[in-house]
């Protein structure tokens, strides 16, 4: 008699993610997974919001990329502890790589870890890394159809950042349509309209993140624990 065994291909990652989350929660560290496509402005958002956050919080960054340490170097210029995580061609970070990154950080001296995931609107949204909260980033240069085309990127996130809003006059991005589509996928997400050139929305975003860190570390919105 032949017995077929089907296993969840994400099982190993989910187990590692659960361990990461328990490790962070035990130390009172909040972890945010920052998601979005290549060029949407994730690193620029971090450069803008970290100076505000570090006035009240001890922050570290895990910087994900396929190759190079350029983004990590930009974060290091702000005086924030940062570990570069290279996937060497992989389209997303995984929980085991995050575990290795956490090993390099003094977690007892940190309040908040921000993971900047690989620039990709599809694959990273499928993988729990052990975060407590997810934030998705959508730039107005990408098009207002993305919440409908890539709903998983916006489903289950705590907040959505609409970036590069200074460029709105030069695009056909319909911000109200984008808001409606985000709400349809995720009725509870906070939506921030940001512009790092002029600082619009950055203080509000920093205050929102600070508020999340002052609450007990929540279970991940994407986990099955």
**What are 18-71's pLDDT values in tens digits?**
999 999 999 999 999 999 999 999 999 999 999 999 999 999 999 999 888 999
Task: Assess if residue 171 is contained within a domain.
Answer: yes
Query: Which pLDDT score, from 0 to 100, does residue 68 have?
Result: 87
pLDDT digits (tens, 9 = 90+) for 99-133: 999 999 999 999 999 999 999 999 999 999 999 99
Q: How many domains does the chain have?
A: 1
Rounded to the nearest 10 degrees, the angle between the axes of helix 11-26 and helix 95-103 is: 30
Task: Assess if residue 224 is contained within a domain.
Answer: no
Query: Which pLDDT score, from 0 to 100, does residue 37 have?
Result: 96
Task: Assess if residue 102 is contained within a domain.
Answer: yes
Containing domain of residue 137, as a range? 20-214
Q: Quote the strand ranges of the chain, DSSP E.
A: 30-36, 59-65, 82-86, 112-116, 133-139, 159-163, 190-193
Task: Assess if residue 165 is contained within a domain.
Answer: yes
Spacing of C-alpha 188 from chain mean position: 17
Task: Assess if residue 89 is contained within a domain.
Answer: yes
Q: Report yes or no: 121 and 137 within 8 Å, Cβ to Cβ.
A: no
Closest CA to 42 of 164, 131, 221, 210: 164
Task: Assess if residue 222 is contained within a domain.
Answer: no
Query: Which pLDDT score, from 0 to 100, does residue 4 have?
Result: 60
Report the predicted TM-score, pTM, of the whole model to 2 decimal places.
Answer: 0.92
Query: Which pLDDT score, from 0 to 100, does residue 90 have?
Result: 86
Task: Assess if residue 62 is contained within a domain.
Answer: yes
Q: DSSP assignment, residue 63?
A: E
CATH number of the domain bearing residue 182? 3.40.50.300
What are the distances in angstroms from CA 20 to CA 11, 103, 117, 120, 155? 14, 10, 16, 22, 22
Task: Assess if residue 12 is contained within a domain.
Answer: no
């Amino acid at each position: 008699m032949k017995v077929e065994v089907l296993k969840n291909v994400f099982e190993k990652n989910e187990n590692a993610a659960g361990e990461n989350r328990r490790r962070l929660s035990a130390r009172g560290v909040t972890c945010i997974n920052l998601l979005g496509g290549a060029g949407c402005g994730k690193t620029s958002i971090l450069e803008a919001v970290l100076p505000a956050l570090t006035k009240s919080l001890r922050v570290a960054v895990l910087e994900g990329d396929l190759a190079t340490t350029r983004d990590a170097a930009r974060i290091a210029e702000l005086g924030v502890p940062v570990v570069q995580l290279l996937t060497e061609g992989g389209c997303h970070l995984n929980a085991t790589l995050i575990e290795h990154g956490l090993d390099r950080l003094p977690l007892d001296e940190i309040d908040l870890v921000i993971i900047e995931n690989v620039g990709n609107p599809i694959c990273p949204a499928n993988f729990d890394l052990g975060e407590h909260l997810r934030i998705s980033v959508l730039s107005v240069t990408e098009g207002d159809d993305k919440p409908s085309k890539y709903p998983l990127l916006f489903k289950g996130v705590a907040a959505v950042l609409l970036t590069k809003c200074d460029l709105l006059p030069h695009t056909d991005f319909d911000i109200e349509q984008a808001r409606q589509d985000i709400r349809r996928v995720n009725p509870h997400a906070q939506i921030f309209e940001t512009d790092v050139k002029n600082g619009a929305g950055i203080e509000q975003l920093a205050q929102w993140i600070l508020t999340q860190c002052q609450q007990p570390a929540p279970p991940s919105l994407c986990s099955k624990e």
